[in-house]
Amino acid sequence: MATHRFQPTHYHTTLGPHAPVLRAAPGDTVITTCVDARGFDQHDQRVTAPGNPMTGPFFVEGAEPGDTLVVRLERLTPNRRRGWSGVLLAPNVLEPEHVPELARSGDFSARWNWAVDAEAGTARLDHPASPLHGFELALDPMLGCFGVAPEGGQAISTATSGPHGGNMDYRGFRAGVTVYLPVFEPGALFFLGDGHALQGDGEIAGTGIEISMDVQFSLELIKGQRIFWPRGEDEEFIFTAGNARPLDQCVQHATSEMLRWLETGYGIEPQHASLLMGQCVRYDLGNVFDPAYTMVCKMPKKLLGRLSR
């Protein structure tokens, strides 16, 4: 139950079987930092190249392919005052014939800054030329990209996502959440980064309010439990994430994974799981910006609690 403090000196823009930066045992806690999506750190200095440079990988003792890695996101705190965001909605989230019209309607080339105050819990638009200068939003810090080394020795860009996690940009990956990831490589090799001070669903402008972060997480291991897609749990819901294109396929992965979870994790036979999901399921949208999109399938824990006897 050690607590490791780790200060990264280099970063990765692929999730893959890279040399671990630290070895931790199940039960351990890690306190570290993440640079922002373009490689700028807590001092607002570029320390590595874009995009979505990852801290890690962390090697978890005893983790083997076929196990499940458990990561509890304990603390995600923006650690500088400048955040930034894109302005232009991604061409793939608009009607195709709308795309040239929007492009013609203004200058979308710049990134806009936000003044982030982690204590006050606010982000204010910091763009004096704009009539929206000073517009304030409530922080909801989250990690856009994290995951493990993928299956089969692959090294996959942090621009995209898959069964191993990756760039899912789901608002639900905030502090307090427990994440479950399939293990494909010995030690699991956990990576994390791409902090967002807050973000709209879909990350449709291609960014949240991007910022570097202080991060604390703990690690656990479920030996011999094979899962197929990232899973998570907060106070209200258990959830599963499907990462693919089109969104229809994300729905398929997330829904099948939830059905498997209800059956093997809660002992609910498929017929009843199917009936309950039909009337009680919720879906959230991760990003619709990256090469693979993300859709999340959720079931209320309160309801499942009433079933476990």
Element (DSSP H or E) covering residue 69: strand 68-78
Sheet holding 136-138, edge to edge: 82-85, 112-117, 122-126, 136-138
Within positions 2 to 41, which residues make up the interface with a second copy, using CB under 8 A?
A: 13-14, 16
**Of 7, 1, 2, the residue nearest 215 (C-alpha):** 7
Least distance (Å) between residue 24 CB and a second copy: 25
Residue pair 202/285 in contact by the 8 Å Cβ criterion: yes
- The neighbour count for residue 260, using CB atoms within 10 Å, is 18
Give the binding-site size for a second copy (rule: CB under 8 A).
86
* Residue 166 binding a second copy, by CB under 8 A: no
Q: Which stretch binds a second copy (CB under 8 A): 68-76, 145-153, 174-182, 184-192?
A: 145-153
Neighbouring residues of 303: CB distance < 8 A, sequence distance ≥ 6: 276, 280
Q: Which stretch binds a second copy (CB under 8 A): 57-65, 72-80, 149-157, 212-220?
A: 149-157
Q: What whole-number distance in Å separates Cα of residue 139 and Cα of residue 116?
A: 8
Specify the residue, 159 or 192, whose C-beta has the smaller distance to a second copy.
159
Residue 151 dihedral angles phi and psi, to the nearest 5°:
-70, 145
Least distance (Å) between residue 257 CB and a second copy: 9
Least distance (Å) between residue 227 CB and a second copy: 14
Q: Which stretch binds a second copy (CB under 8 A): 38-46, 61-69, 186-194, 250-258?
A: 250-258
Least distance (Å) between residue 61 CB and a second copy: 25
Chosen residue from 3, 45, 130, 264 binding a second copy by CB under 8 A: 130
* Residue 251 binding a second copy, by CB under 8 A: yes
Specify the residue, 95 or 235, whose C-beta has the smaller distance to a second copy.
95
* Residue 278 binding a second copy, by CB under 8 A: yes
Within positions 175 to 214, which residues make up the interface with a second copy, using CB under 8 A?
A: 198-209
**Of 165, 183, 150, 189, the residue nearest 286 (C-alpha):** 165
Within positions 53 to 112, which residues make up the interface with a second copy, using CB under 8 A?
A: 85-100, 102-108, 112
Q: What whole-number distance in Å separates Cα of residue 38 and Cα of residue 52?
A: 6
* Residue 128 binding a second copy, by CB under 8 A: no
* Residue 132 binding a second copy, by CB under 8 A: yes
Least distance (Å) between residue 247 CB and a second copy: 4
Helix (H/G/I), strand (E/B), else coil: 152: helix
- The neighbour count for residue 201, using CB atoms within 10 Å, is 13
